[in-house]
Structure 1
Amino acid sequence: MPKSWLFVIIAFAVLRLVFWLTAFPNPDEAYYWLWGQHLDWSYYDHPPLNAWVQGAFTAVFGRSNFTLRLPNLISSGAIGYTYYRIVHYLYRDKIEQHFWLVIILVLASPLYFLFLGLAWHDHLLITFSLISAYLFITFLDGYVTEQKGESWRLYSSAIAIALAGLCKYNAVFVPLGFLAAMIADRRLRPFLRDRRLYFAIAIASSALIPILVWNLSNDFQSFHYYVDRSIHPVNGGIKLGSCLAFIGVSFFVVSPFYWRGFYRSFKQPSHLIRTDSVYPIVAFWMFAVSTIILTVISLISAALYYWNITAYLLLFPLLPACFIRASNFGSKALSGFQLYGLLFATLLVVHYCALPLSALVSKDADPDSRMLFGWNEVAVVVTQQASELQTSPLLITTDYRSASALAYQLNDKTVRAISDRVDQFDFWYPDDLPFRDKNAVILSDDWFPVQSKLLAKFDRVSPPITVPIIRFGVWIKNYYVQRGYGLK
């Protein structure tokens, strides 16, 4: 491995460790951690696997940033090993060189540096989707050459995609890509009549069991949420701006240095890659199906760039053949994508760990990132106010983000959110009857100020205490803490 590559890998590793160990949980990280403290069959916003993992790790190792993101470290190792197997499977020689280049390509993609670092559902989705795709391709290659294939690879692929489905619903794009590849390649069409395929589909569909159990008990609320969000938008009509935003953001967060390589891989696969594998075909259809569907959704509703995160997984192992070619494009792109990725990763770590860079631009920009800071100060005031009330008062906030962050900071799973938005707290605490006559500490901010109808639930409330959050002399935001007496 060239020394410059070793430097780049070490730099990315250091940035990732700094992020994992020092960044306060993103509001959604804390939210999903809290799910793990309320174990259930499934959840309103997402399937349950990430919550189960967080609950298990916290039970064994306790609550800490290290524990929160330890599953990310394990999944990153699994992804690296799977890419090693893929590179070893695809290339005839220079295996080590191609493998390390694939790893650098993944790390240097802002999309994957960010989402493999966050303790969201995505890192598990990526892991199981990649494993499933590798196993399915090796099965299909055996099927093409022997008209049989190793069944254990097919069934293992189905188990892996079932686990991916237990992470996020957009895992469905992966088997849809498999199906499109089988229809497009005449060599694979006979397999559509193979009963093993339908047994594998049954295995993959087993992921729906806990999700269905939860929805049967909760009026299919999570299904309504996603249908209303993606298919039945509030405002009708073609949304060209939303579509262009989806395409544009995807172009930059994957990395603008990769797209020409993707195109060249599709147009004419390199002679360095084995020619007897269906890998390029499956890689293309995994990319095409997911991207086309989400582009159409972005035209009529809204699609976020990271919903397409599984589309590019099989493309990275095809890029070394393009980047290593003796051409000006290859040498310039090789240095360009590394610098681009390192710059993004550095800014991300500063943004999450030291100071939200958006605070330097505007006092109102990026309220999500501002919520990463100040929870030590907030917890001190909340704890002091709670001590002046009866034993174990209610801890209430005005949004799921602040409720989750406060619960994580205090290591207290009883913190709850009361807001107009439907969220998981509405299923844990469907009514106020068990809390009647209790006192409470109420936390709010300017993004989600305390509502008069919430204050009206109490006999009386104290004036709010302002908790300003400042880093390096830069004002980030204010929190407000007040006491409520006698919940009605």
Structure 2
Amino acid sequence: MTVMRLVYAYVLDLRTDEAYYWTWSKENVLSFLDHPPMIAWFIRFGTAIFGDTTLGVRFSGIVAMLVTQLLLADIVRRTTRNNVRAVMLGLLLPEAALYYGLLMAKVAPDTAMIPFMVAMLWSLVRLAGSDDGRWWLAAGLFAGLALLSKFTTVMLAPAVVAFALVPDWRWRWLRSPYPYLAALLVVAVFSPALIWNWQHDWASFRFQAVRATTEGALTLRTLGEFIGMQFGLVGFVLLPVTLFGTALTAWRGYRGREPVAILLSTAVIVPFGYLLWKSLTLRVGDTWPMFLWPAGLAAVAINVTRMPLEGWSPRLIKSTLFWARTAVSSGIVFVVCVFLYYTVAPWNLIGRNDPIGTEAGYDQLAARAEAQLRATGATWVATTDYRTYAMLRWFLRGRVPVVEINERGRFQGFADPGMNLIRDHAGLYVGREPENNLPLWRETSATRQPLERVERRWRGMVMDTYSLEKITGWTPDLSPPPDTTFFRWRVLATLMGNPVAHS
């Protein structure tokens, strides 16, 4: 399965967000508007080994999956006292989930966050098994690294608090210095993002606050999308198996005040409940819940050994084992089929909604853009969305400067892209229709000369159309004031399903 992920990482073109994070890896800044810096460091690690290739960008995701599996296996091993069958189940369950078994090769902040999050849980399991308070420090270190990967790590705080306060040992840890030292360690490790935000008017927190506080009209559509996405990315059999295992673990943990059971179940229930509630009014991103399911997978593997010891009916025990095995076998088959569909099959069975196809074909756009640069004498490329900007930077590889002229808040502290080739020179604008006619153009002195329309295709289907235009008479301001149209970023409309309007 690891070899399969390596092939997937090597064969498929980068998706737009992956290319965007790759551009981050080329910058020397403490943090970024959208997310903390860990994903950029992960990508830099992979490209240092394999160069600026798809495998280089994605290599850290392969390593992250292996680390996650080994940590989950050790959590299960220690909790079940070396039960080999449970450990094997703990290793195989992630392989049966589409996201972990295949799509974790696609780098995202979640890719960096997940192994650190599981390492934090592993440290707390070691704490429960050894009663050695120094494991709080390891947990604090890994929690800080997870937070330096993605802010949603804070959703695990209730699980840690319940782990410390619900069991009978609560007063010992309340009087111990270790949990408080661990909290200080979290802050220290997270300090690069804190320093960057302090220097930039707390931009990341304001950016993410829009996601957390936005409330739209109640709709079952986004709820259905969220639940459907979980079935697809976790597994049509594995998702209900994991929910059952988590519920049983929560019952056992809170009834008997078992620290590990409380930790694992709460790490799933609280974030899942919050995201389920948010999905009633907001579109929840496909990767947002992926950090919570590893704890549930560990709970499933542990339950297989605990249920016979707790007096459950033989019929329920047999049924639980059957469905766990079915989840593994059917899930791995599904993961392999998806792999073959994207790497071998020539068809497009999902149309324009295909999650890979909708972000494929940018090489065609880049080739036409490069041809127009030669034909018109333009020396730089302009875009008005970060996805097109990132993909053109990926394919043009520094041969000409590529800039997104708006949303400059995303690029605070970035290096000079080559203003000597931009200032007073003709440029080439590449705009996705109909966003190529944004009102912001009226605030410039640019003269736009239409050149051609380019279709981005995947497996014979048109996924998007772009307008290529020559720009003269204007030099963009790459450091505009924060209160201008060219600085503000777009997030609210994207969350609500309209990627054009500004927040």
Q: TM-score, structure 2 length as denominator?
A: 0.80
User: Which stretch has the larger CA shift, 322-331 or 275-284?
Assistant: 322-331
1:88 has 2:69 as partner: no
CA contact (8 A) 1:43 1:424 kept: yes
- How far did 1:160 drift? 0.9
Corresponding residue of 1:314: 295
- How far did 1:125 drift? 0.5
1:97-150 Cα shifts (integer Å, max 9, x gaps): 33332222101112323552211111110100101111112113333xxxxx14
User: Which stretch has the larger CA shift, 184-193 or 216-225?
Assistant: 184-193
CA distance in 2, matches of 1:214, 1:154: 27
Corresponding residue of 2:473: 486
The secondary structure found in structure 2 opposite 1:186 is coil
CA shift in 2, pair 1:262/1:200, >3 Å = same
Corresponding residue of 1:7: none
Map 1:289-438 → 2, pairs under 5 A: 289-299=270-280, 301-304=282-285, 306-320=287-301, 327-328=318-319, 330-331=321-322, 333-344=324-335, 346-347=337-338, 350-351=341-342, 357=348, 360-362=350-352, 365=353, 369-375=357-363, 377-390=364-377, 393-412=379-398, 414-419=401-406, 424-425=410-411, 428=414, 435-438=422-425
CA shift in 2, pair 1:429/1:454, >3 Å = farther
1:184 has 2:185 as partner: no
- How far did 1:281 drift? 1.7
CA distance in 2, matches of 1:141, 1:87: 12
1:285 has 2:266 as partner: yes
CA contact (8 A) 1:322 1:330 kept: no
CA contact (8 A) 1:27 1:368 kept: no
Corresponding residue of 1:158: 140
CA distance in 1, matches of 2:249, 2:48: 51
Return the letter of the residue paired with 1:219: D
Return the letter of the residue paired with 1:484: I
User: Which stretch has the larger CA shift, 281-290 or 472-481?
Assistant: 472-481
Corresponding residue of 2:99: 111
- How far did 1:231 drift? 0.9
Where does the alignment leave 5 or more consecutive residues of structure 1 unmatched?
Answer: 1-11, 144-148
- How far did 1:74 drift? 1.9
1:245-304 Cα shifts (integer Å, max 9, x gaps): 434533553224232454246436999xxx996321211121122223333444465543
Q: Percent identity?
A: 19
1:19 has 2:1 as partner: no
Superposition RMSD on alpha carbons, in Å? 3.5
1:379-426 Cα shifts (integer Å, max 9, x gaps): 322222223455x8121123110110111112229421234x566247
**How many matched pairs?**
459
CA contact (8 A) 1:106 1:113 kept: yes
1:49 has 2:38 as partner: yes
The secondary structure found in structure 2 opposite 1:47 is coil
CA distance in 1, matches of 2:31, 2:103: 22
1:349-393 Cα shifts (integer Å, max 9, x gaps): 6358866846x535xx46884232241x32322222223455x81
Q: TM-score, structure 1 length as denominator?
A: 0.82
Return the letter of the residue paired with 1:399: D
CA distance in 1, matches of 2:343, 2:149: 24
The secondary structure found in structure 2 opposite 1:46 is coil
Residue number among 53, 56, 60 corresponding to 1:64 in the alignment: 53
CA distance in 1, matches of 2:162, 2:431: 49
The secondary structure found in structure 1 opposite 2:205 is helix
The secondary structure found in structure 1 opposite 2:57 is helix
1:127 has 2:115 as partner: yes
Corresponding residue of 1:8: none
Corresponding residue of 1:171: 153
Where does the alignment leave 5 or more consecutive residues of structure 2 unmatched?
Answer: 309-316, 476-503
- How far did 1:212 drift? 2.1
CA shift in 2, pair 1:162/1:269, >3 Å = closer
Corresponding residue of 2:490: none
